[in-house]
């Protein structure tokens, strides 16, 4: 009797109700939260130079295309064989209901439950919803009235969110009034991303000349504004501030439509513009002929878009315990799976396989090649380079190394409390800063080779910094505790034919860059700016500094002590030899010494594995990659607790000293960065040595692997 009643109820449900239930529930469970998130973060589309048609198609697919296909498919199966179709429909409703329930659970006290329990509660809710659909006509009636939801949600996304400025952006951008350039000169401007000035400094606040000779040369020939700060925490706000000389509202998008008066529009009629923007769209089409950020092929764009949406959806829909294992989406703008992923992510292989736009070195190399060219008009060469921004995958030589996956010590979006692991992450950052220094050296060499260096105005700075310190909840948020890492940035300006360089400790701000360029070129700016020329005789002393960010306005001093404190900590942990001087406390003296100097005993209690050990037998010093990150697991049979200290010897010389750590699943792991100069072409011998004790009481034990 019960089975007959159930079949009767199922047979009495109209196909239209089946289709509408799939559409409405999909829209509320999937499309609405996803489009709401994307609508509040239009930079997601800007970062990949998504054309208007891609945004429109994505919105239509999520609100109409995909749910209609699901609904029609279920209704079709039900038409062919009603019992099977009813089961399939029930499963679809249960899954969509569970997804919706998980989002509701996430804002209730149940969000603290274990992931499995959240999944059970959500699954049960989904099943109850599916049963209720067939049992209650009132619920089906609600679905009919809710059929307007796709249109409403689509309209809110396209017309009521920040994405509307991209979809309906006008190609017409106001031109500044005709300007006169009294002192025309070639301009080379490079904005690096996520680059604290402390990364360049020693404990006294000077550039580490032996480690960063490129920046030292630039400071010698130009002016280093040592106490420069950014006025905005985020790239999408910082770049408009730099290029317009005004501090923009945070609700504006980094587009030419929202920022019509910039360096690009200022020089459009007088200069030949060669502009490479990475994630912004500030150079209008009339000035840059829409070539600054070329749109990739359709298949390539959508493959990357779907991959990123997959990860975003995981963070949005899964319980926190499960989402924690996904690559973070708040440390970069795109290519999330190429960022701080799990242990299996191999950044080196990824960078070799992906397209042009994924390798951040390629646009930099192209830019350097182009700056040596001349034309009939003076030229502006502009580059926003996504380095030393993470993921940190480059050695100072520009070569890559096998990624350790998530940065050591990472508790995305911040850092854990393990000082050693976070220092290893900082080491990776500093190695990539070494690559950036090489970029500056190559840039200077290219201009000198072309005979343009003396004539050219060079501006090098960063949009903002990053915090790499233990216990910081968010690595990119400016607080009173992190302004030395986030706000304090490099700023170097070399004027044409500058006769003497040096350090200027005036509190420069990023909004001063545009007025300074205008002053050097002899341009009267046709709009008001918040900044001033840094070479003006009437610049007022600033009594305080401000940076805008997600925590509001942070006010701090102007003496630069925040950045010097960060630099002093760096030197305390790394010494003055660059990123490869890191060692656990009390063991830095071992670096560079030959292993034969010590009495190394055999140890039967400790064994280890070395990931990709074969890579050390086929090293190509001139190749695209070096095995400069060594890692593995440790097995111990003794009863001693605590972390282990390991020396890594390469070709008989101690190249690194590291410390083990425990993973969440109870494994003992180690990792260490090897200086590139420790390797030789071809086969390299690797030894692991366990160190017990400190100072003169140290004992050395060979580790089996």
> pLDDT tens-digit profile of 193-252?
999 999 999 999 999 999 999 999 999 999 999 999 999 999 999 999 999 999 988 778
Residues of 227-257 as b/e, b for ≥16 C-beta within 10 angstroms? bbbbbbbbbbbbbbbbbbbbbbeeeebbbbb
Is 302 within a domain?
no
Domain end among 571, 603, 620: 571
Domain count, the chain: 3
Q: Are residues 123 and 196 in the same domain?
A: no
Q: Is residue 630 part of a domain?
A: yes
CATH label of the domain that carries residue 566? 3.40.720.10
Residues of the chain short of pLDDT 70, as ranges, are 1-12, 43, 46-49, 110-112, 169-177, 290-296, 314-315, 317-358, 603-604, 638-641
Give residue 202's pLDDT.
95
Considering the domain architecture, whether residues 241 and 147 belong to the same structural domain is answered as no
In a domain, 235, yes or no: yes
Of 188, 242, 683, give the one whose Cα is nearest residue 456.
Answer: 188
The verdict on 97 and 242 lying in the same domain is no
**Residues 593, 446 within the same domain:** no
Question: How many whole angstroms from its chain centre is CA 264?
Answer: 26
Asked, for residue 337, whether it belongs to a domain, the answer is no
Residue 256 lies in a domain: yes
- Residue 45 CB-density burial (10 A; 0-12 exposed, 13-18 middle, 19+ buried): buried
pLDDT at residue number 352:
33
Please state whether 392 falls in left (phi above 0), alpha (psi between -120 and 50) or beta.
Answer: beta
| Domain of residue 43, residue span | 2-167
Same domain as 100, residue 71:
yes
Q: Is 317 domain-assigned?
A: no
Q: Are residues 562 and 597 in the same domain?
A: no
Q: Within a domain: residue 329? A: no
- Classify residue 601: in a domain, yes or no: yes
636, 527: one domain: no
List Cβ neighbours of 495 (8 Å cut-off, separation of 6 or more).
Answer: 222, 223, 457, 520, 535
Render 342-363 in DSSP notation, one character per residue.
-TT--HHHHHHHS-GGG-THHH
Task: Identify the CATH number of the domain in which residue 646 sits.
Answer: 2.60.40
> What's the pLDDT score for residue 354?
33
Residue 17 shares a structural domain with residue 40: yes
Give the pLDDT confidence score for residue 348 in this predicted structure. Answer: 30
478 and 627, same domain (yes or no): no
Last residue of a domain, which of 571, 597, 612? 571
pLDDT (0 to 100) of residue 324: 59
């Amino acid at each position: 009797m019960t089975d007959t009643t159930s079949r009767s109820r199922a047979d009495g449900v109209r196909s239209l109700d089946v289709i509408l239930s799939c559409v409405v529930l999909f829209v509320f469970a999937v499309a609405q939260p996803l489009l709401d998130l994307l609508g509040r973060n239009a930079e997601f589309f800007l970062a990949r130079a998504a054309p208007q048609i891609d945004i429109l198609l994505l919105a239509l697919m999520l609100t109409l295309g995909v749910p209609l296909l699901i609904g029609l498919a279920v209704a079709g199966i039900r038409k062919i064989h009603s019992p099977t179709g009813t089961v399939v429909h029930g499963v679809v409703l249960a899954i969509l209901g569970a997804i919706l329930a998980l989002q509701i659970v996430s804002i209730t006290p149940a969000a603290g439950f274990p992931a499995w329990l959240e999944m059970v509660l959500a699954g049960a809710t989904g099943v109850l919803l599916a049963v209720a659909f067939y049992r209650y006509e009132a619920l089906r009636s609600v679905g009919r009235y809710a059929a307007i939801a796709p249109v409403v949600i689509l309209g809110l996304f396209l017309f009521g969110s920040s994405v509307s400025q991209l979809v309906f952006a006008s190609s017409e951008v106001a031109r500044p009034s005709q300007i006169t350039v009294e002192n025309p000169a070639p301009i080379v401007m490079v904005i690096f991303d996520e680059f604290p000035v402390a990364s360049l400094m020693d404990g006294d606040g000077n550039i580490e000349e032996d480690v960063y000779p490129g920046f030292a040369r630039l400071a010698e020939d130009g002016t280093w504004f040592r106490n420069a700060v950014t006025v905005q925490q985020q790239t999408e706000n910082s770049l408009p501030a730099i290029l317009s000389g005004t501090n923009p509202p945070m609700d504006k998008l980094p587009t030419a439509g929202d920022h019509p008066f910039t360096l690009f529009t200022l020089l459009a009629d007088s200069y030949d513009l060669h502009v490479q923007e990475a994630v912004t769209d500030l150079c209008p089409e009339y000035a840059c002929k829409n070539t600054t950020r070329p749109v990739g092929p359709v298949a390539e764009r959508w493959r990357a878009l779907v991959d990123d949406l997959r990860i975003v959806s995981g963070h949005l829909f899964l319980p926190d315990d499960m989402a924690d294992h996904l690559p973070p989406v708040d440390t970069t703008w795109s290519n999330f799976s190429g960022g701080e992923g799990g242990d299996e992510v191999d950044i080196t292989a990824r960078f070799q396989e992906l397209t042009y736009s994924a390798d951040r070195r390629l646009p930099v190399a192209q830019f350097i090649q182009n700056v040596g060219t001349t034309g009939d008009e003076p030229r502006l060469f502009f580059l926003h380079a996504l380095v030393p921004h993470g993921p940190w995958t480059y050695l100072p030589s520009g070569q890559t190394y096998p990624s350790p996956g998530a940065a050591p010590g990472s508790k995305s979006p911040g850092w854990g409390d393990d000082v050693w692991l976070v220092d290893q992450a900082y080491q990776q950052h500093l190695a990539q800063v070494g690559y950036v220094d090489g970029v500056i050296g190559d840039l200077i060499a290219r201009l000198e080779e072309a005979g343009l260096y003396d004539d050219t105005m060079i501006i090098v700075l960063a949009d903002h910094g990053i915090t790499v310190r233990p216990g910081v909840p968010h690595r990119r948020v400016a607080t009173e505790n992190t302004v030395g890492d986030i706000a304090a940035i490099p700023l170097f300006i070399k004027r044409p034919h500058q006769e003497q360089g040096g350090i200027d400790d005036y509190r420069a701000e990023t909004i001063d860059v545009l007025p300074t360029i205008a002053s050097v070129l002899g341009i009267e700016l046709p709009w008001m700016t918040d900044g001033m020329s840094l070479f003006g005789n009437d610049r007022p002393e600033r009594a305080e500094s401000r940076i805008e960010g997600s925590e509001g306005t942070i006010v701090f001093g102007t003496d630069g002590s925040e950045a010097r404190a960060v630099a002093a900590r760096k030197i305390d942990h790394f010494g003055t030899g660059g990123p490869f001087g890191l060692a656990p406390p009390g063991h830095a003296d071992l670096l560079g010494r030959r292993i034969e100097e010590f009495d190394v005993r055999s140890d039967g209690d400790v064994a280890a594995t070395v990931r990709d050990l074969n890579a050390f037998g086929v090293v190509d010093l001139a190749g695209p990659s070096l095995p400069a990150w060594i890692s593995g697991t440790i097995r111990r049979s003794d009863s001693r607790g605590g972390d282990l200290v390991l020396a890594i010897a390469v070709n008989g010389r101690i190249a690194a000293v590291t410390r083990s750590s425990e993973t969440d699943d109870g494994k003992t792991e180690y990792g260490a960065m090897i200086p590139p100069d420790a390797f030789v072409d071809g086969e390299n011998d690797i030894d692991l040595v366990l160190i017990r004790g400190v100072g003169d009481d140290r004992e050395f034990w060979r580790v089996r692997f």
